[in-house]
Every structure is written in structure tokens, then in C-alpha cells.
């Protein structure tokens, strides 16, 4: 076996960068970090979507607390039935 190194980033280096939200082509910066969004409006929209998803996950986690469900189920099963 030969010990050759592979540059796996070269595949993506020449790809045309696109906005992660709307898909528009991005301008390349000569220095610094690569852009993810085409303009501030897309960046703000992405932030709002992430925030809404986080709030939805938090609400779902509070609704389905396993300890609370088990406590309520035990209370229901131990309660006398009315006829």
C-alpha cells in the first residue's frame, strides 16, 4: 500500500456556494469566513426558523415529561372507580 494523502476538501473548494436558505448564488469573499446567507434578510429568516424550532422542541419536551406521565398514570390506576 502506498501512503498518499487525499485532499477531500478540494471537491467542495470549486463548487459554487449557495445560500443555505434560499439557494441563491453567493459572492465569494477574498478573505475570512465563507458566507452562509445571501443577505441579512435570509440570515434573519434562518434565525427566526431556528428559534421557532427550538421553542417547539422545548414545548414538546415539557408536554411529554415521562415522570409526570408515570405519576398521573399511577394516580389514575389507584383511584377508585365510580359506578
List 18's β-bridge partners, or say none.
Answer: 25
Question: Regarding predicted confidence, which is higher, 82 or 59?
Answer: 59
**pLDDT attached to residue 30:** 81
Domain range annotation of the chain: 12-75
45 Cβ contact list (under 8 Å, min separation 6): 21
47-57 mean pLDDT: 90
Which H or E run contains 55?
helix 40-63
Q: Which residue has the cell 478540494?
A: 10
Write the DSSP symbol of residue 20. T
Output 13 or 52, whichever has higher pLDDT: 52
Between 37 and 6, the higher pLDDT residue: 37
pLDDT score of 41: 94
Quick one: cell of 77? 390506576
pTM of the model: 0.55
Contact 26, 18 (CB under 8 A): yes
13, pLDDT greater than 70: no
Amino acid at each position: 500500500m502506498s501512503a498518499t494523502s487525499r485532499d477531500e476538501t478540494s471537491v467542495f473548494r470549486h463548487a459554487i456556494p449557495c445560500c443555505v436558505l434560499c439557494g441563491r448564488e453567493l459572492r465569494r469573499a477574498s478573505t475570512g469566513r465563507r458566507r452562509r446567507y445571501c443577505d441579512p434578510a435570509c440570515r434573519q429568516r434562518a434565525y427566526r426558523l431556528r428559534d421557532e424550532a427550538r421553542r417547539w422542541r422545548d414545548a414538546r419536551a415539557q408536554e411529554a415529561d415521562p415522570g409526570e406521565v408515570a405519576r398521573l398514570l399511577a394516580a389514575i390506576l389507584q383511584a377508585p372507580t365510580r359506578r
